[in-house]
Amino acid sequence: MTQLIKARQGIITPEVERLAKVEGLTPDELCEKVAKGRVVILKNNQRKNSVAVAIGEGLRTKVNANIGTSPDCVDFSDELHKIEVAVAAGADAIMELSIGGDVDAFHRLVLDKFTLPIGSVPTYQTGMESIEKHGSVVGMTVEDMFEMIERQAKRGIDFMAIHSALNMSIVERLKNQGRVMDIVSRGGSFLTGWMFHNEQDNPLYTQFDRVLEICKKYDVVLSIGDAIRPGCIEDSLDRAQVQGLIVAGELVQRSLEAGVQVMVEGPGHVPLDQIPATILLQKQLCHHVPYYILGNLATDIAAGYDHISGAIGATTAAIAGADFICYVTPAEHLRLPTAEDVHAGVIATRIATHCADLVTGVKGAREWDLAMGRARKELDWEKQMELSIDPPTARRIRAERNEEGAEACSMCGGFCAVKLVGEYLGKTGGSC
């Protein structure tokens, strides 16, 4: 039985019990959200070593880090290191998106070594194996697609992006409306090529019940992939994207009826003024299930700094109701990220989501900032370091231009406002 079906029966699972405490809710409150589909719990029933994570309405906004090889860079030890870096930086989940090397072996290693939820896009591996078996990505058979979903589910993958909300009608609309960036989703491009080459509609759409059957069996959270997401600001909220959301909403309804935990993926590149409308549309059309977005990137022109573009959009999106944010690294649009890029991407996204959580009233968010304010007032540097979102970086920067044990910092030195005002007011500190 999936967490969704159990919640509908009023069963408080050990995961709900624990996660309610983590999120500051009662088990009954969390159970009700899961039962309505407004919260999903990432935990494949085949994984014994994993720690479940809850995503959705009223909970802390979660952060995902993508890692994985490309055909040009196949170094699994480097990808393992990137996961370690992402975990240390505070990522809540990892999507393993390798398209080079022995993906089966790497998945087993990752699932064994790490306890946080692991996601995947099965179509990637299907496409890569199809090149070996059939000579091209578009040669993959329908059975190849479903065999891969089952293979990865059985192995323990906790959530899967499956591009079921893509059909011929959407692709025709996209062709006719003249998008700037057409399709930028890798899975979407594989399946669009497949549909044209094989002159058939997308099997992940036409045989959606088979997807549901597998997800239900292993309690994999289905993440309906956004194959049609806008790849530049100009394409945001065009007719093809909205049609994709309507289809996603229909598939969400079928997933919930089947007892399958489901979330919906979204853009991508969205100007700030369109983010609230994008989130509202998804929530209304998709039965308020969790929304999992990339960024949003608030501008297209920040190459080298796309983690900042993504963080600006992510805060607006999370305030508007996005639940799960896929990080963007400084390497986005440029190359495979390094471990340093992964660290920068996770931290930038965590800052963005925390800023949103402060506004939306997520339990514990304000308390964290209040503790930092108090530590600053007390000039308690050790406490400030501990409370920083990235303590090693905060410690390194403080150590660079301060004498050890200095009461103030080198910004104002003897004119430290915190210290002076504290003395005027007869207190130990003020606030900088």
Lookup: tokens for 124 = 């990637």
For residues 254 and 213, the answer to whether their CB atoms sit within 8 Å is no
Q: Which stretch binds ligand SF4 (CB under 6 A): 38-46, 216-224, 327-335, 406-414?
A: 406-414
Q: What is the DSSP letter of 220?
A: P
Cα separation, 107 vs 155, in Å, equals: 8
Cα separation, 432 vs 416, in Å, equals: 8
Q: Which of 7, 97, 121, 408: binder of ligand SF4 (CB under 6 A)?
A: 408
Q: Which stretch binds ligand SF4 (CB under 6 A): 75-83, 133-141, 289-297, 411-419?
A: 411-419
Measured distance between the N- and C-terminal CA atoms of the chain, rounded to whole angstroms: 53
The residue among 5 and 417 lying less far from ligand SF4, judged by its C-beta, is: 417
> Is residue 142 involved in binding ligand SF4 (CB under 6 A)?
no
Cα separation, 236 vs 272, in Å, equals: 11
Q: Which of 2, 120, 409, 422: binder of ligand SF4 (CB under 6 A)?
A: 409
Lookup: tokens for 21 = 């405490």
Compute the least distance from the CB of residue 232 to ligand SF4, in Å: 40
How many amino acids of this chain bind ligand SF4 (CB under 6 A)? 8
- Is the dihedral angle over the CA atoms 203, 205, 209, 214 positive or is it negative? positive
Q: Which of 168, 181, 237, 432: binder of ligand SF4 (CB under 6 A)?
A: 432
The residue among 81 and 377 lying less far from ligand SF4, judged by its C-beta, is: 377
> Is residue 425 involved in binding ligand SF4 (CB under 6 A)?
no
Residues 6+ apart with CB under 8 A from 228: 165, 166, 170, 174, 183, 185, 188, 240, 241, 243, 244
Compute the least distance from the CB of residue 402 to ligand SF4, in Å: 9
Cα separation, 266 vs 292, in Å, equals: 6
The residue among 272 and 420 lying less far from ligand SF4, judged by its C-beta, is: 420
Compute the least distance from the CB of residue 344 to ligand SF4, in Å: 24
The residue among 237 and 432 lying less far from ligand SF4, judged by its C-beta, is: 432
Cα–Cα–Cα angle for 33, 45, 188, nearest 5°?
75
> Is residue 411 involved in binding ligand SF4 (CB under 6 A)?
yes
Q: Which stretch binds ligand SF4 (CB under 6 A): 24-32, 203-211, 237-245, 415-423?
A: 415-423
The residue among 107 and 376 lying less far from ligand SF4, judged by its C-beta, is: 376
Compute the least distance from the CB of residue 412 to ligand SF4, in Å: 3
> Is residue 325 involved in binding ligand SF4 (CB under 6 A)?
no
For residues 121 and 95, the answer to whether their CB atoms sit within 8 Å is yes
Place of tokens 């700037």: 180
Q: What is the CB neighbour count within 10 angstroms for residue 170?
A: 25
Cα separation, 311 vs 296, in Å, equals: 7
- Identity (one letter) of the amino acid at 240? A
Site string for ligand SF4, 360-399 (x = CB under 6 A): ----------------------------------------
Helix (H, G, I), strand (E, B) or coil at 63: strand
Residue nearest to ligand SF4 (CB): 432
Cα separation, 385 vs 74, in Å, equals: 37
> Is residue 165 involved in binding ligand SF4 (CB under 6 A)?
no
> Is residue 318 involved in binding ligand SF4 (CB under 6 A)?
no
Lookup: tokens for 219 = 């309690």
> Is residue 227 involved in binding ligand SF4 (CB under 6 A)?
no
Q: Which of 190, 274, 418, 422: binder of ligand SF4 (CB under 6 A)?
A: 418
CA dihedral of residues 148, 153, 156, 157 (deg, nearest 10): 80
Lookup: tokens for 82 = 């990137």
> Is residue 5 involved in binding ligand SF4 (CB under 6 A)?
no
Q: Which of 412, 425, 427, 428: binder of ligand SF4 (CB under 6 A)?
A: 412
Compute the least distance from the CB of residue 404 to ligand SF4, in Å: 15
Helix (H) or strand (E) holding 423: helix 417-424
Compute the least distance from the CB of residue 348 to ligand SF4, in Å: 23
Compute the least distance from the CB of residue 420 to ligand SF4, in Å: 8
Q: What is the DSSP letter of 60?
A: P
> Is residue 417 involved in binding ligand SF4 (CB under 6 A)?
yes
Binding site for ligand SF4 (CB under 6 A): 408-409, 411-412, 416-418, 432
